[in-house]
Amino acid sequence: MGSEHLPGRSCRKPLGIQIIEYWKGSRVSFKTHQAIVLIVTFLAYASYHATRKTSSVVKSALDPKLPDLGMNFLQLRLTNVSEANVPRRFSGVLGGGWAPFNGTDGTSLLGELDVAFLSVYTLGMYFSGHFGDRCNLRIFLTVGMLGTGVFTSLFGAGYWGDIHNFYYFLVVQMIAGLFQSTGWPSVVAVVGNWFGKGKRGLIMGVWNAHTSVGNIAGSLVASAMLNYGWGWSFVLPGVVIALFGFVVFLTLPVTPESVGADREEDEYSFPKKNGVGGIEEPLLRPYNPPVEDKAVGFIEAWKIPGVAPFALCLFFSKLVAYTFLYWLPFYVSHTEIDGRYLSSESAGTLSTIFDVGGVVGGILAGHISDGLDARAITAASFMYCAIPALYLYRIYGYASLVVNAALMFVTGLFVNGPYALITTAVSADLGTHKSLNGNSRAVATVTAIIDGTGSIGAAIGPFLTGYISAKSWNAVFSMLMAAALIAGLLLTRLVVAEVTAKIEESRSNMAQQPSHLV
């Protein structure tokens, strides 16, 4: 699994770990390594999402032309923009904005940027998982973060460079998507190396809050920077992710072997009895220096039981989640709430409520799936509950800010819950499936397959929204509800299997009880 420790070589600890040990005067414990892994990977992927979120907030500044913004947007222009900045920030026609996105086809062009970014991201995801299981994940992740920072900043540089060529922004977004694809397979693989299955759903549910935390940070930073020019909304997150990239390089231990950590300190690293008397293989097996696991092939990974259904489910789940990720601030700023329209800054801030709900949803889904030992039942239930949540948000979200925020929170909870569960605990579980016979070098590949397939849906949703929303937001929400339904239905076979297993386990336990207790 992208190990830094190869047979016959001494382990080379990251410089940051060596400094910590020198300062302490003793070796870093296994638990401390685990804490470092959780914190560093959390910050790393939160910064990925912060850079990804900025474009959704800036959309309303690039394309503020819709007539229903009325005097609210005019007031925003007059109060928040100095005369010196007007020619650059609001160049063009149709009520300001930034050419070429302020024309009649501006919304469609913004949708094309999203689909270009996510298409390259999706393609890169498959390759990233393949390389991630075969190389040094610390270096791989560092390069991805630095590249993401550079090209995110280059998009914002179009503001100061007075660039209005659509293809400049398109190419920059595509290259940024390629670098972004390095993140997810890498961080999941590293966390999977350090944590066994015992409480993985809950641990990864909490850890996966990085997605929503990153979205919230990206929204708040981008919204605040709009007052100084939309370019800063990209440059500042770009600089931050580059800095965190250096933190990853200096401190991230990829595997216990790479830093000589003692596995025996980890309570989850030993085999444990399952309910029917078998032995469940732990994620981390005793290391045997002369033998190195062979990385699992792409086709072989697809054949692992459960990978295909969960990958297809995530396709539709991410279609819903990423439509909100890229279009929610735009939708809020272009929708009348309690008789008025919010500014781009206010809409971006309000949209963070969706991600707060996502944090709760991810933790709740992980905790429930651990308690039930039923990933499919949990994920499908959340997707079905997302359908009425989406409907209520569209129908009653206009009533007031409080109602809008409450319904947005609930929608985020049910939409992001299964998305978080599948991309973390489920991916790590399947990457260490019993059919692999203990081979630990499949997590990044399986994660890439599942999240890569999901990212195709993530590309399609925002792309279709760019066109459909120009005619009807009701049609957009109908699309999202249909996608949530299909996502739940795709897990039906796995849900039936889990229910059947629960029934058989209950019968077995009943049969084993003394007759006088039955």
* Least confident residue range of 15-19, 392-396, 418-422, 440-444: 440-444
Mean pLDDT in residue range 454-481: 88
Mean pLDDT in residue range 269-281: 37
- % of the chain beyond a pLDDT of 70: 77
Condensed to tens digits (0 to 9), the pLDDT of residues 82-129 reads: 333 333 333 333 346 898 988 778 888 888 898 899 889 888 887 876
Give residue 173's pLDDT: 95
- Whether residue 493 contacts residue 309, with contact meaning beta carbons closer than 8 Å, is answered with yes
Tell me whether the omega of the peptide bond preceding residue 309 falls within 30 degrees of 0, making it cis: no
Condensed to tens digits (0 to 9), the pLDDT of residues 230-264 reads: 999 999 999 999 999 999 999 999 888 888 876 65
Mean pLDDT in residue range 60-85: 46
Give residue 85's pLDDT: 39
Give residue 25's pLDDT: 85
Cα–Cα distance measured from residue 433 to residue 439, given in angstroms and rounded to the nearest whole number:
9
Residue spans of the domains in the chain: they are 12-64+99-258, 296-504
Which contiguous run of DSSP H or E holds residue 273? Answer: strand 272-273
Query: CA nearest 60: which of 26, 90, 81?
Result: 90
Mean pLDDT in residue range 136-163: 94
Confidence of residue 197 (pLDDT cuts 50, 70, 90): low
Query: CA nearest 213: which of 369, 23, 412, 476?
Result: 412
Q: 417 pLDDT exceeds 90?
A: no
- What DSSP state is assigned to residue 425? I
Confidence of residue 442 (pLDDT cuts 50, 70, 90): low
One-character DSSP codes across 322-387: HHHHHHHHHHHHTS-BTTB---HHHHHHHTHHHHHHHHHHHHHHHHHHHHHT-HHHHHHHHHHHHH
Q: 345 pLDDT exceeds 50?
A: yes
Q: Which residue has the tokens 């100095």?
A: 82
Q: Which residue has the tokens 């045997």?
A: 288
Q: Which residue has the tokens 């590949």?
A: 445
Mean pLDDT in residue range 310-318: 90
Give residue 363's pLDDT: 87
Cα–Cα distance measured from residue 258 to residue 117, given in angstroms and rounded to the nearest whole number:
34
Residues 6+ apart with CB under 8 A from 113: 55, 169, 170, 173
- Structure tokens given for 258: 């790479």
What is the pLDDT of the chain when averaged over all its residues? 79
Tell me whether the omega of the peptide bond preceding residue 282 falls within 30 degrees of 0, making it cis: no
Q: 501 pLDDT exceeds 60?
A: yes
Higher-scoring residue by pLDDT: 107, 378: 378
- Whether residue 341 contacts residue 334, with contact meaning beta carbons closer than 8 Å, is answered with yes
- What DSSP state is assigned to residue 426? I
- What DSSP state is assigned to residue 134? T
Residue 444 Cα distances to 179, 191, 307, angstroms? 16, 11, 13
Residues 6+ apart with CB under 8 A from 325: 52, 53, 56, 215, 462
Q: What is the SS3 assignment for 145?
A: helix
Give residue 412's pLDDT: 94
Q: Which residue has the tokens 């539709």?
A: 316
Residues 6+ apart with CB under 8 A from 340: 72
Give residue 434's pLDDT: 52
CB-based burial of residue 211 (10 Å sphere; 0-12 exposed, 13-18 middle, 19+ buried)? buried
Condensed to tens digits (0 to 9), the pLDDT of residues 422-440 reads: 876 666 666 554 544 444 4
* Least confident residue range of 271-285, 339-353, 448-462: 271-285
- To the question of pTM greater than 0.85 for the whole model, the response is no
Residue 125 Cα distances to 97, 179, 260, 447, 450, angstroms? 33, 9, 30, 9, 10
Q: 276 pLDDT exceeds 90?
A: no
Higher-scoring residue by pLDDT: 65, 495: 495
CA angle, residues 293, 203, 385, in degrees to nearest 5: 115
CA angle, residues 462, 457, 239, in degrees to nearest 5: 60
Mean pLDDT in residue range 215-242: 92
Give residue 402's pLDDT: 94
- % of the chain beyond a pLDDT of 90: 33
- Whether residue 456 contacts residue 355, with contact meaning beta carbons closer than 8 Å, is answered with no
- Structure tokens given for 19: 């400094």
Give residue 371's pLDDT: 82
One-character DSSP codes across 170-220: HHHHHHHHHHHTTHHHHHHHHHHHH--STTHHHHHHHHTHHHHHHHHHHHH
Query: CA nearest 358: which of 394, 313, 322?
Result: 322
Is there a common fold for 12-64+99-258 and 296-504?
yes
Q: 405 pLDDT exceeds 90?
A: yes
Higher-scoring residue by pLDDT: 96, 176: 176
Q: Does domain 296-504 have CATH number 1.10.10.10?
A: no
Cα–Cα distance measured from residue 361 to residue 382, given in angstroms and rounded to the nearest whole number:
9
Query: Cβ atoms within 10 A of the Cβ of 279, count?
Result: 10
Higher-scoring residue by pLDDT: 419, 386: 386
Condensed to tens digits (0 to 9), the pLDDT of residues 19-68 reads: 888 898 888 888 899 999 999 999 999 999 999 889 888 988 888 754 34
Give residue 380's pLDDT: 92
Q: Which residue has the tokens 């949703």?
A: 461
Residue at 438: amino acid letter: G
- What DSSP state is assigned to residue 95? S
Q: Does domain 12-64+99-258 have CATH number 1.20.1250.20?
A: yes
- Calculated CA dihedral for residues 437, 438, 440, 443, nearest 10 degrees: 60
Residues 6+ apart with CB under 8 A from 149: 51, 238, 239, 240, 241, 242, 245
